[in-house]
Chain A
Amino acid sequence: MGTTSEKNWEPKIVAFLCNWCSYAGADLAGVSRFQYPPNIRIIRLPCSGRVSANMILDALRSGADGVLVSGCHPGDCHYISGNLFARRRFALLNNLLEFVGIEPGRVNFSWVSASEGEQFAEVVKEVTDKVKKLGPSTRLVKRIG
């Protein structure tokens, strides 16, 4: 997003986190002082089931270099099955984006529970590494000259 000189480029990653597990996991990572890269911008949602393809693509369109969607582990959803419905949608979207040539690793999905602060930090590291390797996002990015 915005202008960054290529040398000091740091990816910007939009993270859609569910309120009950992944957001709490991120919070725990913070209070437990697990270090993770500062490249993510968190958007809190009630449930991973609330994440629609529009939102993920809007992040890419707005110039996010990567997207992370994270929810409760299957079976742990606060709303019982929100993440299980979402899982089907994510699987299809993930495949469709690869089908049209969006680099694998731009859009990522994970399950992180409220007690997994360390895992959250790990996921963010992994996603940041991947996106750094891919470089700045160019596909599906809106440019208004």
Chain B
Amino acid sequence: MKALKLDRNAIGQWLSNMAGERDIYAPASDGPAKGTWTLLTDYSMPEIKPGVPARPVKNFLFPQPETLLKFSIVPTDPDCCLPSEPEENGRKNVVFGVRPCDARSIGLNALACKADTYYQANMDKNAIIGLTCSQVCSTCFCSETGGSPMGTEGCDVSLTEIDGRYIARAMTERGEELLALAESFGKEVTDSDFSAVEALEERARSGSDEIRNPEEQLRKKDLMELYNAPFWQELADRCINCGACTFLCPTCYCFDIQDETLHGKGRRIRCQDSCMFPLFTLHASGHNPRGQKIQRVRNRFMHKMKYFPDRFGPISCVGCGRCVRDCPVNIDIREVMRSLLNFHDMGSVTP
């Protein structure tokens, strides 16, 4: 695979080369939009702070809102009641400076969104340029969920900073094409650069994490025992049932579909939904199988840690720590993960 060494200026030049064909987004470092992914207009190396930006990269895979179709209900309209595709501007994106945890979330969500043509189309539309982490923040726990601060999964190109320069490695065919745009001015990567990257990877692997491969342990556990575990009550006592965790989570992909009509014109949109909300599973009959707060809280964690691994393999958490950092009542998913892993039903008779 292609690899180049780029300094900050070279990155700027590369960005401006890519900008001909694609819109480039990077996290804003200050102002009211701080932490949100904003369109770059000035093609210099964006300032990217350690840790994850406030918003996850899923906003590109699940645009808020995403128009699925349009329609008219004006009887005199020739197209009345015929759904039509929304217009596309045809532009593709480059999402720059994606942390390994966020990048990894794209593939995890794709497991559940295999048949979701909109998600697949957005995967095609958005090229991911990752940036590995040289600093692991106190709320980060990617390596406990199967990721790594040096991870490249989900990236088309992965950047690693070494002594103020960036080693850019193409990870996919699309990444090769993008990196080719820097070929004329990018420096060759030397063996010592490669070994520096390898050393960082090795350091990341040898971390002293307490938890390794939680998915294997969780898959072995009995679903109903976990479901009826006593610790959910204490979590529900303090959870306020807001959607901060789900909306900031890169691997929460649940959505709501709404038909909006105004003056005879309408559209069908999908926007993110949260299992914390009372409408989430409300049936048309008025019955809600998750009507109580405790049931909603439990669902979020059981989905990530048990239902998802049972069905797809890995746990549906990349350890970005946004929910840990931003939960208003300090519900810490790392503790919940430990509670689930360490839980043994005292009442059961299994040996």
* A, B co-complexed: yes
Interface of A is mostly: loop
Do B267 and A63 touch across chains, with their CB atoms under 8 A apart?
Answer: no
Would you give the 0/1 interface string for B261-304, flagging 1 where the beta carbon is closer than 8 Å to chain A? 11101110000000000000000000000000000000000000
Tell me if B233 counts as interface (CB < 8 A to partner A): no
The residue in chain B whose Cβ has the minimal distance to the Cβ of A141 is: B262
Known: A144-B267, A145-B267. A63 touches B262 (CB 8 A): yes
A62 contact set on B, CB distance < 8 A: 262-263
Tell me if B67 counts as interface (CB < 8 A to partner A): yes
B86 contact set on A, CB distance < 8 A: 145
Do B67 and A63 touch across chains, with their CB atoms under 8 A apart?
Answer: no
Tell me if B198 counts as interface (CB < 8 A to partner A): no
B263 contact set on A, CB distance < 8 A: 1-2, 62-63
The A43-93 residues at the B interface (CB cut-off 8 A) are 62-63
Interchain CA distance A1-B261 in the complex, whole Å: 13
A145 contact set on B, CB distance < 8 A: 67, 70, 86, 267
Tell me if A142 counts as interface (CB < 8 A to partner B): yes
B266 contact set on A, CB distance < 8 A: 144
The B73-105 residues at the A interface (CB cut-off 8 A) are 86
Tell me if B188 counts as interface (CB < 8 A to partner A): no
Please tell me the number of chain B residues within 8 Å of chain A, measured between CB atoms. Answer: 10
> Which of A1, A62, A142, A144 counts the most chain B CB atoms within 10 A?
A144
Interchain CA distance A50-B70 in the complex, whole Å: 35
Interchain CA distance A142-B65 in the complex, whole Å: 14
| Minimum distance in angstroms from B292 CB to a CB of chain A | 28
| Minimum distance in angstroms from B261 CB to a CB of chain A | 8
Interchain CA distance A145-B85 in the complex, whole Å: 12
Interchain CA distance A63-B265 in the complex, whole Å: 13
A2 contact set on B, CB distance < 8 A: 263
Would you give the 0/1 interface string for A1-30, flagging 1 where the beta carbon is closer than 8 Å to chain B? 110000000000000000000000000000
| Minimum distance in angstroms from B88 CB to a CB of chain A | 12
B261 contact set on A, CB distance < 8 A: 144
The residue in chain A whose Cβ has the minimal distance to the Cβ of B265 is: A144
| Minimum distance in angstroms from B265 CB to a CB of chain A | 6
A1 contact set on B, CB distance < 8 A: 263
Interchain CA distance A12-B260 in the complex, whole Å: 22
| Minimum distance in angstroms from A102 CB to a CB of chain B | 19
The 8 A-B residue pairs with the shortest CB-CB distance in the complex, in nearest-first order? A144-B267, A144-B260, A2-B263, A144-B262, A1-B263, A142-B262, A144-B265, A62-B262
Residues of chain A having any CB pair with chain B under 8 Å: 1-2, 62-63, 142, 144-145
Residues of chain B having any CB pair with chain A under 8 Å: 67, 70, 86, 260-263, 265-267
Q: Write 14 A-B pairs (CB below 8 A) sorted by A numbering.
A: A1-B263, A2-B263, A62-B262, A62-B263, A63-B263, A142-B260, A142-B262, A144-B260, A144-B262, A144-B265, A144-B267, A145-B70, A145-B86, A145-B267
